Amino acid sequence: MSQPKQLDSPLYALLHHENVTGFNQQKPKTGTIDLVGGDFRGLDLRELDATGVDFTDAYFRAADLRGLDLRHTAMEGASLGHAQISGAFFPPELTADEILMSVNFGTRLRYRTK
């Protein structure tokens, strides 16, 4: 099982210092942004433009994700333990039960298969 890690990326550094506005301005408009396995614990990420960001296996324990649109964001294996998620949109592959289990118990998000 992977542990949260500090990523060697200028975009990650902006988020890690809660400079969401700077991240949104510098993020490429196309392509995928690789933030796989990143440590986002306790960060205030409200207002983040998460479209195209790959948060696979990331840790969001106690992070503030309120109001985020994560519908076009990869989140499989991410952990949302005690995160604030009010008003957030999640990828349609994630069930409400899966999200609640992750928020309440820190389990990793598993996408439903068809």
Please state the rounded mean pLDDT for residues 12-24: 97
Domain extent at residue 65: 1-107
pLDDT confidence of residue 3: 79
pLDDT confidence of residue 112: 78
75 located within any domain:
yes
CA dihedral 80, 82, 88, 93 (to 10 degrees): 30
Could you tell me the pTM of the whole model?
A: 0.93
113 located within any domain:
no
112 located within any domain:
no
**Residue range 61-104, pLDDT digits in tens:** 999 999 999 999 999 999 999 999 999 999 999 999 999 999 99
Residue 22 vs residues 8, 27, 45, 79: alpha-carbon distances, Å: 17, 8, 12, 25
Residue 11 has pLDDT above 90, yes or no: yes
Residue 114 has pLDDT above 70, yes or no: no
114 located within any domain:
no
Q: Could you tell me which residue, 114 or 76, shows the higher pLDDT? A: 76
Residue 35 has pLDDT above 80, yes or no: yes
91 located within any domain:
yes
Q: Specify whether the CB–CB gap between 2 and 57 falls below 8 A.
A: yes
12 located within any domain:
yes
Residue 28 has pLDDT above 60, yes or no: yes
Burial 48-69 (b: 16+ CB within 10 A, else e): bebeebbbbbbbbbebbbeebe
The total number of structural domains that make up the chain: 1
